[in-house]
Amino acid sequence: MQMKHVRVLVILGSGMLEFYKENAHNKINVKTRFGSAVFYGPDAKTGAYMLLRHGNRHSIPPHKVNYRANIMSAKKLGITHIIATSAVGSMKYGLKVGDFVVLDQFIDFTKSRPSTFFEKHGNVVHVDVSSPYSKSVCNALIKSLQKLRKVNYSPKGTYVCSEGPRYETAAEIKAYRKLGGDVVGMTSFPEVVLARELGIEYGTIAVVTNLAAGMQRNLNHSDVVIQMNKSSKIMKSIIDGAIANIIG
C-alpha cells in the first residue's frame, strides 16, 4: 500500500522567532506569480518546515503580509498541512492571558487585503468555508494539548480578524463580542481561506497574550511579544505533538 505524502509547515507569528534558529541555515526561497516566500527546514526532529509570517526581523505589519505568496509558495513546496500560530487578545473573561485556543471559526473585519486566488474573469469559484479550519489539524492540536499537564486551553474559538496595524477600540471589541467573537487578532484571514482554496489542511493554535481593548488599561506590542516568549516553550511542545499526530 502506497503511503500518503505528508509535509507540514509551521507558520510562526509574533514572538516565535526562537523556533527557527536551529534551521536558519536551511533556507529555501520559493517564487510564485504573487511574489516569493522564504522557508526554513526541514526540522531535524519533526521534518516540518517553517515560515516567519512577519519576516525574520518582524518587519512586515499584518496588513502588508503577502499571504498569497506565502500560501502559494507552500503549495509549490509540497506542503499538505499547515499549523499556524497566533497571538490574540481575549474578548472573554474566561479566557485568560497564557491560555491556548484551537480556532474553529473566524469573522473577517479586514478591508484591503487580497483574499483569493480566484480573481480572473470566467473563473468563478465559491469555496465552502462553513468549517474554515481543518478538522484533522485541529484534532491533532487538541490531542497534543490533552497530553500536556497544567495547560489551560479551549478546543474551539471564534477569531475576529481586524485590519490592523492599530489595536481595536473598546467599542469595536464590544461589537465583536456581541457577534460571537472569542478572541481578536490581525493575521488568520485571509491565510486560512487561501489554504482552503489550494486544498491545504490548515489549523491555528492561538495563545492569549492580552485582554482586548476596554478589558485592560492599555495595549502595546511589547507586552504581546513578552507574553508570547513566555508561552513559546509550551507552544513548541503543542506543535511538535501535533506534527507527530499528523504524520502518524
Q: Determine the pLDDT at residue 1.
A: 39
pLDDT recorded at residue 15: 66
Q: 138 in a domain, yes or no?
A: yes
CATH number at residue 44: 3.40.50.1580
This prediction's pTM: 0.94
- Least reliable range by pLDDT among 5-19, 43-57, 138-152, 227-241: 5-19
Per-residue DSSP letter, 130: S
Q: How many domains, the chain?
A: 1
Whether 40 is in a domain gets the answer yes
Task: Select from 232, 187, 239 the least CA-distant residue to 81.
Answer: 239
146 in a structural domain:
yes
What percent of the chain shows pLDDT beyond 90?
77
Structural domain of 187: 8-247
Q: What is the pLDDT of residues 97-123, one digit of tens each?
A: 999 999 999 999 999 999 999 988 777
**Within a domain: residue 125?**
yes
- Check residue 182 and give its pLDDT: 98
**31: in domain:** yes
pLDDT in tens, 19-54: 777 777 789 999 999 999 999 999 888 999 999 999
- Tell whether 3 is covered by a domain: no
Strands 183-185 vs 81-90: parallel, antiparallel or unpaired: antiparallel
Residue 64 in domain: yes
CB-count exposure of residue 78 (10 Å: 0-12, 13-18, 19+):
exposed
Residue at 2 is within a domain: no
**79: Cβ–Cβ under 8 A, 6 or more apart, which residues?**
7, 8, 9, 49, 200
